[in-house]
Structure 1
Amino acid sequence: MDSDNFTVGGGAASALAGAMAAGMIAMVAKLSTKKDYGLTVDKYHEISKEADQLAKKLIFGAEEDEKAFCKIKDAYALPKSTEEEKKKRLAAIQNGGIAAATVPKNNGFMCKHVYQLGMALKDNSNPNAASDLAEAIMLADAGVRGCILNIKANLLLIKDQKIKSEFENYIQELKDFKGRNEGYEEFIG
């Protein structure tokens, strides 16, 4: 991470937190196949395969977040001398904001899915990896929360109320889902 690179921020960090969580969840699932911990071997393999795929997608999502931010940066650099230039610039800013809200929305739903995979392993996995699983659940939750923050930050650039409302609905879906915040309190007290 380069502190002088302003294109990589919270959205990329949120996606990377989700990717790390997914990798750890895949590991815990794989470590749970040798004994009966509550799920079938096939289910552990399914979870690990799905988590590994999500990890790759979230790494790509971190890169996409940087590209989306650059669209906003480029839009603000457009000329604004004439009324026509101002209109084009405002449209480009809104389109950049939409792109920059869409990426964390997509990453947020992937982080949510990672969280749910982690919760499927809770009390159904190798107890020797319980702290790894708890950390993964916390990271996935942090990924969801960070993505919500990034969606909200980009809503300020979107003037179309219908589009803004759609993103607000996505935020609510990301905030409210079964099992949220129930995964790790017993480990951290």
Structure 2
Amino acid sequence: MDKKINAFLKVMDATDNSTGGGSASSIAGAMAAGLAGMVARLSMGKKDLAPTEHYEAIATQAETLCRKLFDGGSKDSEAFAVVSAAFGMPKGTDEEKMARSRAIKDGMTRCAEVPLQNATLCSEVLIMCARLEKSYNTTTASDLECARHLAGAGLKGCAANVRVNLPYLKDDLLVRNLESKLEAILNSGGE
């Protein structure tokens, strides 16, 4: 958990250039999932609300999404580190140039795919929030609203990070595939 906490703190460190918007967006989604889970837990057993099993399922899903999104923030930082390292590779010989070019391509692909995965998870958090809005403990209304806002910001931030990396990919088919997947996520009803 300390590694995850450190990744979270790096997002808040204005002097760190390795952890950016993709990580911050993923962590926003993780916080949203955590809040949604809390709302579900605080709704269990309340009179005139859905059965406890409904909230238990949401709380379990929230815990899974929180963990995956928190990990996704670390993966986003790691993808950036891969690209940074690739640009620092030697390029004196033809073999070195080819290896460097391949490493940059692989790294840039990862820099687009990781936030796409995180966008999917943020969309799932938004859908989970919508499920909760139908029946929940209204004393947690502000928590649920915060979860929705954080998940929406996470989704938009992840989408921005996918889009910013697409021009660096030299594979038109891959770009179209990633764009198509992103549009499907954005149109899935999560936002």
TM-score (norm 2): 0.89
Q: What is the aligned length?
A: 180
Counterpart check, 1:53 vs 2:51: no
Aligned counterpart in structure 2 of residue 70 of structure 1, from 81, 100, 103: 81
Shift of 1:154: 1.4
Letter in 1 for 2:31: M
Change (3 A) 1:25 1:177: same
CA-to-aligned-CA distance 1:80-134 (integer Å, 9 cap, x gap)? 2334333322221111011111111111111110110001011311111111101
Aligned position for 2:158: 147
Deviating beyond 4 angstroms after TM superposition, the runs of 4 or more aligned structure 1 residues are none
Q: Is the counterpart of residue 157 in structure 1 residue 168 in structure 2? A: yes
Answer yes or no: is the 8 Å Cα contact 2:43–2:49 preserved in 1: no
Match in the other structure for 1:183: none
Partner letter of residue 106 of structure 1? Q
- Unaligned runs of 5+ residues in structure 1 are 181-189
Q: Which residues of structure 2 form unaligned runs of 5+?
A: 1-11
How much has 1:169 moved relative to structure 2?
A: 0.9
Computed over aligned residues only, the root mean square deviation of the Cα atoms, in angstroms, reads 1.4
Q: Give the residue type in structure 2 aligned to 1:88.
A: A
- 1:63 maps to a residue whose letter is S
1:119 and 2:137 matched: no
The verdict on how the C-alpha distance between 1:15 and 1:152 changes in structure 2, with shifts beyond 3 A counting, is same
Q: Could you tell me which amino acid in structure 1 is paired with residue 121 of structure 2? A: M
Deviation at 1:55, TM superposition (A): 0.5
- Counterpart amino acid of residue 80 in structure 1: K
Residue by residue over 1:146-171, the C-alpha shift from the partner in whole angstroms, topping out at 9 and shown as x without a partner, is: 11011111112210111111111121
Matches within 5 A, 1:94-113: 94-113=105-124
Q: Could you tell me how far 1:39 is from its partner in structure 2?
A: 2.3
Which amino acid is the alignment partner of residue 57 of structure 1?
K
Q: Is this contact kept in 2: 1:93–1:157, CA < 8 A?
A: no
Query: Who is 1:26 aligned against?
Result: 37
In the superposition, relative to structure 1, how do residues 37 and 103 fare at CA in structure 2: closer, same or farther (>3 Å)? Answer: farther
**Contact 2:76-2:114 at 8 Å conserved across structures:** yes
> Which residue number corresponds to residue 7 of structure 1?
18
The structure whose residues are more often helix, as a share, is 2
Q: Which amino acid aligns with 1:175?
A: L
Give the Cα separation in 2 of the matches to 1:175 and 1:29: 25
Contact 1:10 1:146 in 2 (8 A): yes
2-side partners of 1:151 and 1:12: how far apart?
12
Matches within 5 A, 1:169-184: 169-178=180-189, 180=191
Measured against aligned partners, the alpha-carbon deviations of 1:2-43 in whole angstroms (never above 9, x if no partner) come to 222111000100110000000000000111112245422101
Partner of 2:5: none
Aligned sequence identity (%): 37
Give the partner amino acid of 1:46. A
